[in-house]
Amino acid sequence: MSTLDQPDLVVPRTAREAILAWYAAAGRPLAFRATTDPYAVLVSELMAQQTQAERAAEAWTVWIARWPTAGDLAAAPVADVLRAWAGLGYNRRALALHRAAQAIVAEHGGRVPNDLEALERLPGVGPYTARAVAAIAFDKPFGAVDTNVRRVLGRIAVGGHEAFSPGALQSLADAVVPRDAAAAWTHALMDLGARLCAPRNPRCGECPAAAWCRYAAGERPHVGAAGPATRNPRRPEPAFPSTNRWLRGRVLERAREAPDGAWVSYDDAIGAHGQHAVREAVLALASEGLLQARENPETIEARLPS
């Protein structure tokens, strides 16, 4: 009989109760956790991807005050949306959220759908975000599996997530959602992974699930007869200002700072990036819909989309 046949044996009800009690007492009081409004939850989930939760919560508060409904956001100029996203990084998420709001208005009468497949069809919404919205906003028993949740559940169940395929771990995550506390459970696992169950040096002595956790007990998954694959040595990360991501951020930042509708010339180097690299970054951002660009032989100009 596999682990998935009896999920209560690997993540027992008592362990889940302990995690929920810990979250009720010590969970982070992030602003967006005070609501179950589906649109507000969707905004928070897209903001919190690859952004510190505290920073996302601050931006979310301002955003919801400005655009409290999907209809409000759908009607907003793209330039305003991109300016409001400043500081959150990965600016394509802003564009995706704007397009998702337009789809919600056009296809769902302005209401975020509660069906998982319909959620996944929204621009920028993948399996994780769809499950998080379904669990938090609609209290549906779906497990939202991100890096933190994968680590927490994998360690409790078998000592590490390496023993699970992605599909098997998703099935386990769905199976162990408390049927009367899907939203709190989703937040609790995210907090546990972010604050205690770290990739290295986890704080097992403070973890509410330690008594049931295979990892805390010293167990590790057996991954094949030959053992885990040897990892290639990690190459040093390049200095951030030398990366294309840094350059794209500076290009977009210049456009954000310009008056509405004004064209910005990009005819010089930015940091260590020469004029050719700057031009290529502008054109790439324009191809993604984040800028409007126009070229002439001597320079290239761009502005935020109208």
Tens-place pLDDT, residues 30-87 = 999 999 999 999 999 999 988 899 999 999 999 999 999 999 999 999 999 999 999 9
Same domain, 83 and 160: no
More confident residue, 3 or 250: 250
> Under 8 Å CB-to-CB from 12, ≥6 apart: which residues?
212
**Is 229 a domain residue?**
no
Residue 78 shares a structural domain with residue 110 = yes
Identify whether residues 160 and 95 lie together within a single domain. Answer: no
Q: How confident is the model at residue 229 (pLDDT cuts 50, 70, 90)?
A: very low
Residue 9, pLDDT score: 65
Q: Above 70 in pLDDT, residue 237?
A: no
Taking Cα atoms as reference points, which of 123, 138, 144 lies closest to residue 37? 138
- Choosing from 172, 192, 212, the residue where a domain stops is 212
- In angstroms, the CA 306 to CA 241 distance is 29
Final residue of a structural domain among 106, 138, 170:
138
pLDDT at 240: 81
Pair (24, 148) in one structural domain: yes
% residues pLDDT > 70 (the chain) = 92
Q: Given this model, what pLDDT does residue 2 score?
A: 47
Residues 43 and 62 in one domain: yes
Instruction: Examine the domain organization and report whether 12 and 75 are in the same domain.
Output: no
Q: What is the CA radius of gyration of the chain?
A: 22
Alpha carbon distances (Å) from 293 to 5, 108, 269, 279: 55, 33, 17, 10
- Please identify which residue in the block is written with the tokens 């810990």: 22
Domain coverage including residue 168: 7-28+143-212
Residue 231 scores a pLDDT above 60: no
Q: Structurally, how many domains does the chain consist of?
A: 3
- The verdict on 128 and 44 lying in the same domain is yes
Whether the CB-CB separation of 247 and 278 falls below 8 Å is answered with: yes
Residue 255 lies inside a defined structural domain of this protein: yes
User: Is residue 1 predicted with pLDDT exceeding 60?
Assistant: no
Asked whether residue 157 is assigned to any structural domain, the reply reads: yes
Q: Are residues 44 and 11 in the same domain?
A: no
Last residue of a domain, one of 138, 173, 204: 138
Catalytically active residues are 45
Q: Which two tokens stand for residue 305?
A: 């989309």
Beta bridge partners of 211: none
Q: What is the mean pLDDT of residues 103-120?
A: 97
User: What is the average pLDDT score of the chain?
Assistant: 90
Do residues 96 and 149 both lie within one domain?
A: no
Q: Flag whether pLDDT at 177 surpasses 70.
A: yes
Residue 111 sits in a domain whose CATH number is: 1.10.340.30
